[in-house]
Structure 1
Amino acid sequence: MNRVKKLVSKANRQLTIQLAAFLLAGSSLLSSLLGLLRDRLLMSNYYDTYKTGIDAYTVAFVIPDFMFFLLVSGALSVTFIPVFSQRLATGNKKSAWELSSSLVNFMALITLAASLLIIIFAEPLVRFVAGPGLDETSRGLAVSMMRVIAVNPFLFAIASVVASMQQAIGRFTFFALAPTIYNLGIIFGITVLANGVNLFGFQLFEGGIMGVALGVVLGSIMQLIVSSVGLIGMGFDYDFKIRWKNRGFRKVLKLLPPRSFDQGIDYFNNIVETNLASRLGAGMVTAYQRATTLHMMPVTLIGVAISTAAFPRMSERLAAGRVDLFKSELRAVLRVIIWLALPTAVITFFTRGYIVSFIKNGGDLLIANILGVLAVAILFRSIYHIAARSFYARQDTRTPLYISIITITLNIFLAVVFVLRFGLGVYGLALAQALVSIVEVVILFLIMAIRMPGLFDTSFIHAVSRMVSASGLMGLISYVSVKLLDLSARDQSFFTTFPKFAVIVAISLISYLLICRLFKLEEPEPVIKKIASLAFGQFKPQAKVEP
């Protein structure tokens, strides 16, 4: 047992920002690849043959996910971590553990109540989400699956508190593993549970798409277990009480509502989009959600991974009163995110047909076109995560909330107008989201510039303008590469499309690195040096040893 504890403690040691970002990006990449496999299995099994069934599955997630985003999600980490870090920085571990235990218990109680309410009121909730878009059979299936998935907010809430504790002290290993485990559970549901469960000749479960919902719950349970393993070696002293008098706990509860409401209204936009998409025909809900998921993958890999890794250190800088270091690190992180997200958005736009073919053999023109519109949002959604966290690190959860209220209201207004007034169909939803992502970041940047003078200095603006120019030139190369390696009717499998995609991406990224170096940007230098050392390191001349 002691050996296991030592092994876990070693694996979960504190990491630097660079290593943490690399680990989180790597785990996000693995999770994204598993997500692609998950979606590919879902699309191949249900999209062409059972569009109403897969729409029902998509609808079933909406309310449980909404409750999780409203009550927990990012709201917890960005409000809990600064307060928890402050307690640890002053050596007050007792208060830190009391805060953690109280938060675990509090979140478990309110999310358990939310899960029970979802189970009880699943039928009217499905009617509210899908409106008249689903037929009676599909609506009944969505109700049944929603009741199964309703346990997710409870399981995710506990896992989120546990993961936030590890984040706060720079331990990311098991936090990074958790999403991967969740996807494995869903894949098990698609490949095994959907085929039915037999035990000694007795049919325990008939299978079908309901088996996928059971796989979702299995993934949630496994995710909680993996997150909890990361507590080994931290010295966490858990008790079953909610200590209402703990100042840190009261401070988190004070900070939580604005951020929770911010998350909630953000996800409420998804409810409106689902309702509108369900009115446009069978399969539209799934097509839009899959395109949204695909465009969020690079956002998770770049924006979420890097900002999540940087956030604890930024909070520590402010806790120590080092505003100068906070600003310089924020500026550096912003530059890296923009440098990575710009070419990613361009490549996604030009290779959208290939990307969609990874989740559906032969691709799908509708999903590809939706992804093309959403490609613009990749850059701005990636920037948003670190921009918003710059406010949360200052324990300001209200400013991002007010901005979200404005932008989500605008998003809903534009979505309704584009779909119902201008008849743009599902593309109207994507266009509204892309436009609003730009508006949101512009507003955040304006406020950041006012509150943190000198953040966007001349060197920063010049660097970003050079990144834009480099991405534009790379875009021309990407376009030519796509035309030369165009998808044909014979490209119906992953093994025929991926090599072409890999070549296009490689040519685009190599050209981007070289153009950035030509433009004297500092970001590509570590990458180029690493590639050079890996490629030519073995040919280095050995130093002569004097006799």
Structure 2
Amino acid sequence: MIKKSVRNLVSRANSKLTIKFAAIILASSTLLSSLLGFLRDRLLNSYYLDSYPDGIDAYTVAFTIPDFMFFILVSGALSVTFIPVFNQRMAKYNKKSAWELSSSVLNVLALLTLVTSILIIIFAEPLVKYIVGPGLSESSRSLAISMMRVIAINPFLFAIATVITSIQQAIGRFTFTALAPAIYNIGIIIGTIFFTNGINIFGIQLFEGGIMGVAMGVAFGSVLQLIIASVGLIGVGFDYQFKIFWKNKGFRKVMKLLPTRSMDQGLDYVNSIVETNMASRMGAGTVRAYQQGLTLHMMPINLIGVAISTAFFPNLTERLAIGRKDLFRKDLQSALRMITFLALPVAVLFFFLRGYVVSFIKNGGDTLIAGILGVLVISIFARSIYHIAARSFYAMEDTKTPLYISIFAIGLNILLAIVFSTVFKFGAYGLAWAQSIGALVEIIILLALMKIRIQGLFDIQFISGILRMVVASLVAGAVCYLFVVVFPLMDSDERFFSVFPKFCFVGLVSSTAYLFVSKILKLEEAEPIISYIKKIFLK
């Protein structure tokens, strides 16, 4: 009886959602995950950034190779290649083929990433010494090697979880998919708070503790994430088989599309390897500072660009599957406008509020992280748009065009990073400028090619709307700057609860100014938000 009730509860929670509600769920979960990420990073930075910079650099370096292998083998490559093919089978009511496809992809990627994880464990020492951490001190390098061997399990666990969540996304189920990243962060927080004191069971000391406990928390979080993702399969009807159906046409199609997109993802992550390599030579703590700047700038990208694009993507593939290019264009325009309406002012406000934002992850803030974040605001806007622009090509089952553009953009990024950091001696700021310029060039080329493919995509009405968003964002930025001058961060603002009220006040006033100007300029995207606020106040 209890088992049946739990099953029914999970099935209701995992029911199919509309695009709008799916976007809200994904954005809310991303916000929750980001807030937990803030807590995670605040704990780590408070414990180690000033007192043990070599240790926190080692922890940051340890992630690089496992993350790279996950991105190149699975990550976004799977969702954008698997979901369109899976949806085609479901649209034709061919569930047998769809489940054979799912089982085959799951088994292949699990086997592939298991081998990869084992290889990372074996070759962790040369990977750290020669590729991602050549500039680390001897003790820091040794620590990075040990932690990388613990974190090496991530690609295997993440691969299984990603296939499972991709199945749920394909059929419009987002609830447990949305919860998984937050659970992962909770695991790391548990490791930071508890595992750093060591693990003792029945008087047997299993683990001594220290910063290695954080790495143990990472592995623990990966296991929790997989469990939550698996719960989301209840009520979906997934017919898993421990078998690879090599003759399944859908599976062969995914395997054909997967390498191109995987290479695209992998090349994109090559930036991280190059930047980590260079940052390791810039003094203790620089690797962590640059990584923290990247993490902070990714929060709005995930919250806006990734969440909205993920919600729209299944619908875009369905439009093309039934031959409705007109509806595809309409949905793509809506997604582009929605992302621009949110990402543009957020990028502007992040620039002026960067000191406040950095203080959330480190008591008293950090000048280097704040400066890096200030440069990366360009990338916030460009990367937010990138996710829906790239997915528009993937919906057409074209993975090569984004790949070629990425190769060019990444090459430019690496070249600029080397020039800015070594020739012009910009240090970590040079890495940030290279990142922003590369992201901006990439999105310009993608949108230009998309305009050629989809006639009427950027019509007068669309361009007019974007220009009005720019005007509203500039006004919001001016208001934000004025209030930051009036309410600056003080030396006494070291605690979270002394900074947070100021941040909320300035952010709220600036956002209100943006909505007010958007209303005056008759931007349709502002209407639902204003209506919702009115309902709250009327109640």
Instruction: Place the TM-score, normalised by the shorter chain, in its bin.
Output: over 0.9
Matches for 1:349-428 after TM superposition, within 5 Å: 349-428=351-430
CA distance in 1, matches of 2:522, 2:237: 47
Q: Secondary structure at the match of 2:205?
A: strand
Contact 2:358 2:365 in 1 (8 A): yes
Q: Which residue pairs with 1:324 in the alignment?
A: 326
Q: Is the 8 A contact 2:306 2:384 kept in 1?
A: yes
Alignment of 1:62-461 (within 5 A): 62-461=64-463
Measured in 2, the distance between the counterparts of 1:260 and 1:21 equals: 25
Match of 1:545 in 2: none
The one of 510, 532, 535 aligned to 2:534: 532
**Aligned 8 A contact 2:192 2:214 in 1:** yes
> Which 4+ runs in 1 deviate beyond 6 A?
none
Asked whether the 8 Å contact 1:55–1:286 carries over to 2, the reply is yes
- 1:543 match: none
The separation in 1 between residues aligned to 2:197 and 2:133, in whole angstroms, is: 30
In the aligned structure 1, how far is the partner of 2:274 from the partner of 2:154? 21
Alignment check: 8 A CA contact 2:150 2:215 kept? yes
Per the alignment, residue 506 of structure 1 pairs with: 508
| Counterpart contact for 1:59–1:129, Cα < 8 Å | no
**Contact 1:62–1:129 (CA under 8 A) maintained in structure 2:** no
Measured in 2, the distance between the counterparts of 1:119 and 1:204 equals: 20
Amino acid at match of 1:279: R
Q: Is the 8 A contact 2:286 2:428 kept in 1?
A: yes
1:133 alignment partner, SS class:
coil
Q: Deviations over 1:409-468 (max 9, x none)?
A: 000000000011111100000000111111011000110000111001010001101100
- Provide structure 2 residue ranges, at least 5 long, that are not aligned to the other structure: none
What's the CA shift for 1:353? 0.4
Q: 1:517, 1:525 within 8 Å by CA — same for their partners in 2?
A: yes
Q: State the one-letter code of the partner of 2:173.
A: R
Contact 1:196/1:205, CA 8 A, preserved across alignment? yes
The one-character-per-residue Cα deviations of 1:477-501 (angstroms, maximum 9, x if unpaired) are: 0000101110111111000000000
1:18 aligns with 2:23: no
Residue pair 1:102, 1:249 contacting (<8 A) in 2 also: yes
- Which whole-Å CA distance do the structure 2 matches of 1:102 and 1:202 have between them? 42
| 8 A Cα contact 2:195 2:214, kept in partner | yes
Q: Give the number of aligned pairs.
A: 537
Letter in 1 for 2:5: R
Where 1:132 maps in the other structure, the secondary structure is coil
Unaligned runs of at least 5 residues, structure 1: 539-547
Q: Counterpart of 2:200 in 1: which secondary structure?
A: strand
Q: Deviations over 1:116-151 (max 9, x none)?
A: 110110000011333431111111111110001001
Distance 2:526 2:319 in 1: 27
| 8 Å contact from structure 1 (residues 75, 263) kept in 2 | yes
8 Å contact from structure 2 (residues 345, 476) kept in 1: yes
The answer to which of 123-132 and 66-75 deviates more is: 123-132
Structure 2 SS opposite 1:358: helix
Following the alignment from structure 1 to structure 2, what is the Cα–Cα distance between the partners of residues 320 and 132? Answer: 53
Instruction: Work out the CA distance in 2 between the residues paired with 1:303 and 1:508.
Output: 21
Q: What amino acid maps onto 1:45 in structure 2?
A: Y
Q: Distance in 2 between matches of 1:520 and 1:232?
A: 44
Structure 1 counterpart of 2:317, which letter?
Answer: S
TM-score, normalising length: structure 2:
0.99
Whole-Å Cα distance in 2 between the matches of residues 214 and 128 of structure 1?
A: 24
For the 8 Å contact 1:194–1:208, the answer to whether it is kept is yes
Question: Quick check: 1:391–1:400 contact (8 Å CA) kept in 2?
Answer: yes
One-letter identity of the residue aligned with 2:141: R
Q: Deviations over 1:200-228 (max 9, x none)?
A: 33322110011000100000001001001
User: What's the counterpart of residue 485 of structure 2?
Assistant: 483
**Alpha-carbon separation, structure 2, partners of 1:474 and 1:229:** 43
What whole-Å deviation, never above 9, does each CA across 1:31-68 have from its counterpart, x for those lacking one?
00000000000000000010000000000000000000
Q: Equivalent residue for 2:34?
A: 32
Q: Secondary structure, in 3 states, of the residue corresponding to 1:489?
A: coil
Q: Identical aligned pairs, as a percentage?
A: 64
Q: TM-score normalised to the size of structure 1?
A: 0.98
Asked whether the equivalents of residues 268 and 406 of structure 2 are also in contact (C-alpha less than 8 Å), the reply is yes
Q: Tell me how large the CA RMSD over aligned residues is.
A: 0.7
Q: Which SS does the other structure have where 1:530 is aligned? A: helix
* Counterpart in the other structure of 1:58: 60
User: How far is the alpha carbon of 1:473 from its aligned partner?
Assistant: 1.1
**For 1:63 and 1:382, how far apart are their aligned partners in 2?**
25
Amino acid at match of 1:316: E
